[in-house]
A and B are shown apart, each in its own frame.
Chain A
Amino acid sequence: MAEYMLSVHHVEGEPMPSGEDLQRAFADVDRFNEELRESGAWVFAGGLMPRETSTTVDNTGDQPILTDGPFAETKEWLGGFWVIDVADLDAALEWARAGSAACQGPVEVRPFQGE
């Protein structure tokens, strides 16, 4: 078995779904999570608060330096993710297809390092 992170990204300027669309996405993601749990592939999942709420800590020098805001200055940022444990990439891609349809966004599939 191998672990993969399925991550969902927000893109700057792209409108968030609202109203009925948002409700449907929530319901679909709930159902997707339920399927993940039932299959045994579930390891962990979570949605993140907006990136303005992040703090970056750099303790590589003499003193820890705290910066208000995200580390990477990009136009795309992590919105949430699943960690799944499945046999191989084909299985992970299969879950990603369903996850992308549920949350209505592209999903990046990335393997974790082995033991």
Chain B
Amino acid sequence: MTPGDPRVTQRGSGLDVDAAIERIFAEEFGRVVASLARRFGDLDVAEEAAGEALVVALEKWRADGIPPNPGGWLTTTAGNRAIDRICRESRRGDLHRQAELINGPRGDDQPQEATGPVEDDRLRLIFTCCHPALAPEARVALTLRLLGGLTVPQIAAAFLVPETTMAQRITRAKRKIAAARIPYRVPEIADLPGRLAGVLAVLYLVFNEGYLASTGSADAGADAGADAARDRGPVRRNLTAEAIRLTRVLRSLLPEEPEVVGLLALLLLTDARWESRFAGGELVPLDQQDRGGWDVGLIAEGHDLVRACLARERATGQPPGRYQLLAALNAVHTDARDARDTDWGQIGTLYDQLVRLDPSPIVRLNRAVAVAELDGPEVALAEVDRLPLDGYNAWHATRADLLRRLGRGEEAQGAYDAAIAASGNAAEQAWLARRRNSLVTP
């Protein structure tokens, strides 16, 4: 059906209805799957029934308009579909399932479920999808499929893998959950911090996959991009939006967890700079971005969240975790109206805290950028040269910049070349090439 279809235009703007339906699907899919998974104890049944309910809804709502409680409507319809399917299967001799079914609520005449327990269901589903017994790429795929409601082709396109590969990855993960009995529940308090860290890592990974797009090129409107890359752009953008949406959901479910707040702030403050990161097909580094192009609404929300984390930290004496520190770093950067106003002292202090928490070379590389501002490029270069990161484009790019500032033009040129070779991102390569070509060599 097209937006120009008479059945749609009868009810006003078909485009509006379709956009509204799409928004409801995105909001409700995870809720429906989570609630059915609890009722029927089977992710396949839940996923299929939710998918069927969406098809029914699309047809019915386009004709009759959207019902007052679309989420409840979807849950009820999907529940009935699931019961139909299980009845069909149990008639083939699966009496065990039939027995289970009798204990569950049935039919349209059941009152629609209240919000409370349904939200708990989504929390259970997040922890199941991000279980440490699943491979990281399977956790990401399952979370996007079952909680985000993204289709397999969408997820495959976003991660640049063939559709069959992604379908197999998801099927295999669901089979393992069922066969190995990965529990469908929120972990015990004692296990929560560790398990929550796994969930946050998945959400951060989803966001970064959309934001950095290391193998793509034109996702932010780079005009030199190929058609394929341009097509992928919105799909990639979808990932950042989905990561933010799911993190908001997680925060509404676990409002007391400071690291969840920290991650949400980090994502918002990063996303706020989306439009300013690219200009004319070229990456624009933080210090040269047009700060007027930053999204002030997102920045204000992110700053509020960071302030809430700081207040909590002062009240409880509990030191901030990794995401809170990363959010605070982004808050300091986005607080400066001009790059020259950046409070490097505070950035340095935050990086010192982060390095104590995570002394990995990549964190130390980022700290070196602050060191260059505080103690000069020579001190920073000495630190950078100690890091075992010579396969990493940002290491070469940072070295190149420090060498340039020290007036060591020839060495800088070599470092830019190495950075270009190690980068898989056309927009970044374009920026690095321009920096290299603008070097004044003695």
A binds B: yes
Q: Beta-carbon contacts of A65-98 to B below 8 Å, as 1s and 0s?
A: 0000000000000000000000111100100000
Q: Beta-carbon contacts of B184-212 to A below 8 Å, as 1s and 0s?
A: 00010000000000000000000000000
Question: CB of A2 within 8 A of chain B?
Answer: yes
Question: CB of B179 within 8 A of chain A?
Answer: yes
Question: CB of B183 within 8 A of chain A?
Answer: yes
Question: CB of B228 within 8 A of chain A?
Answer: no
User: Is the CB–CB distance between A2 and B181 below 8 Å?
Assistant: yes
Question: CB of A106 within 8 A of chain B?
Answer: no
User: Is the CB–CB distance between B180 and A90 below 8 Å?
Assistant: no
Q: Beta-carbon contacts of B135-173 to A below 8 Å, as 1s and 0s?
A: 000000000000000000000000000000000000000
Within 8 A of B (CB), among A92-115: 93, 109-111
Interface size class of B (residues with CB under 8 A): under 10
User: Is the CB–CB distance between A88 and B183 below 8 Å?
Assistant: yes
Inter-chain contacts of A110 with B (CB < 8 A): 180
- Report A56 CB to chain B, min CB distance, Å: 28
Bound CA span A105–B28, Å: 45
Identity of the chain B residue whose Cβ is nearest the Cβ of A90 in the assembled complex? B183
Identity of the chain B residue whose Cβ is nearest the Cβ of A91 in the assembled complex? B183
- Report B138 CB to chain A, min CB distance, Å: 14
Question: CB of B226 within 8 A of chain A?
Answer: no
Inter-chain contacts of B182 with A (CB < 8 A): 88-90
Bound CA span A2–B183, Å: 12
Identity of the chain B residue whose Cβ is nearest the Cβ of A94 in the assembled complex? B191
19 A-B contacts, Cβ less than 8 Å apart? A2-B181, A87-B181, A87-B183, A88-B181, A88-B182, A88-B183, A89-B133, A89-B180, A89-B181, A89-B182, A89-B183, A90-B182, A90-B183, A90-B187, A93-B133, A110-B180, A111-B179, A111-B180, A111-B181
Which residues of A approach B to under 8 Å, CB–CB?
2, 87-90, 93, 109-111
Which residues of B approach A to under 8 Å, CB–CB?
131, 133, 179-183, 187
Q: Nearest 10 A-B pairs (CB), nearest first? A: A88-B183, A88-B181, A111-B180, A89-B180, A89-B182, A2-B181, A89-B181, A90-B183, A111-B179, A89-B133
